[in-house]
Every structure is written in C-alpha cells, then in structure tokens.
Amino acid sequence: MRLRTVLPLGTFLLALVGCAGTQAPVTAPVTTTQTRNAPAWIDNEEIPDGLAAVGIAQPNVMGDRALQRTVAVADARTKLAGKLKVRVQSMFSQLNQQVTTAAADTGAKPVKSDAMNRVIDNVTRQVINQELAGTNTRGTWTDPEDGSLYVFLVMTRESMDAALAATAKAQIKKEIGQGEQGLDAALDKLDAAIAASGPAN
C-alpha cells in the first residue's frame, strides 16, 4: 500500500517540474516615464536646441553618491561624443558635396581626399574635446526601485555651431597655407554646411 502512495506522488512531482520548464521567462520591467514616474527625458533625450544624452550609473558598494554621479556623467559624455562625431561627419559630408559641385561648375581642382580627411579628423577631435568640457547637466533622477542614477547632459546647438565654425575655419586655412588651394571654396560654404547638418528647428 505504501508503495502505491509514493509512486503517484513522485509522478505528480515530475509532472509539475515538466510544466514549470515550459513556462516563458519573466522579463524585467522597462524603465519608462509611465511605469516609474520618471522625467520625460528618460524616454526621449532628443532636444530641439542641441544634443543631449542620458548617462546611467548603478549604486556602488561604498554607497558613494559623488562617485555614482561621476560615472553617470562619464557615461553621458561618451554617448554625447558619439553623437557629436556624427554631427561633424554630417557637416563635412555637406561641405564636401558643395565644394565638389562648385569645383565641377567652375573647372577648379577638386579637393584632395587626404587633405579633407586631415581636416575632418582634426576638427572632430578638437570640437569633441572642447564641447564635452562645456556640457551642462539639465536634470538628474534616481530610480527608487534599484537606486540607479540617471543624468541628462546637454550641449547647446549655438555652442556647437560656433565651435564647428571656428575650428573648421582654422583647419581649412592651415591646409590652404600648406598648398591645398582647392579648399578655398570650403570657407565660403562652411556656414551653409553647418546649418544643413544641424537638427531641425
């Protein structure tokens, strides 16, 4: 009799384990303004007046809030650097297209690719370094559930455009001074290329 009782119980337990194994994994809730009462920039970091990025840092074992903020800001700066690099590349794509078209129309010599690449590399590096130093924090938020810190870091379009114009002009003039006369037209078309590469108003 005892054996008859144990066998059905064992079979029942195996059936439970088998059913549990077929269940779909539970996914963690997504951090959104609706589910966590977070600020709107958590879900949408795009702004009309510049570039912005959200940096995130989890709590550290020491409970050091200053260190957590430093990590979050560093994360945001890395993301902003990527966005700014895309903006610079877009600006030079516009500029290169305009200069190439002008050269074809006037019969001037096209810009040497190595000279343009040097200008692009130097401008990208200098503008990123300069603009990241001038970023400002527009907001912070701590997730009440896991303690993660979110930092909303912003660089203004006005500042970016001024830095792009000044740095690009300096680099283009440097190449012209070294004999790359094909870049002359780039100075006249620089402002239009910067405007064309920016976010829509």
Closest CA to 42 of 27, 30, 59, 58: 30
Instruction: State how far the Cα of 84 lies from the Cα of 26, in Å rounded to an integer.
Output: 37
Q: What is the pLDDT of residue 187?
A: 87
Q: What is the pLDDT of residue 182?
A: 75
Q: What is the pLDDT of residue 106?
A: 64
The model's pTM is: 0.74
Cα angle 80, 81, 87 (rounded to 5 degrees) comes to 90
Q: Give domain limits for the chain.
A: 45-193
pLDDT one digit per residue (tens) for the chain, 201 residues: 444 444 454 444 444 444 444 444 443 344 555 556 889 999 899 999 899 999 999 998 898 999 999 999 999 999 999 999 999 999 998 888 888 776 666 656 666 778 888 999 999 999 999 999 889 999 999 999 899 999 999 999 999 999 999 999 999 999 889 888 778 888 888 998 998 887 644
Q: What is the pLDDT of residue 99?
A: 80
Indicate the length of the chain as a whole number: 201
| Strands ordered across the beta sheet of 50-57 | 50-57, 149-156, 136-142
Report the SS3 class of residue 43.
coil
Instruction: State how far the Cα of 59 lies from the Cα of 146, in Å rounded to an integer.
Output: 8
The CA-to-CA distance between both ends of the chain, in Å, stands at 83
What fold is seen in the domain 45-193?
Thiol Ester Dehydrase; Chain A (3.10.129)
Instruction: State how far the Cα of 189 lies from the Cα of 51, in Å rounded to an integer.
Output: 23
Q: What is the pLDDT of residue 117?
A: 87
The beta-strand segments (E) located in the chain are 50-57, 136-142, 149-156
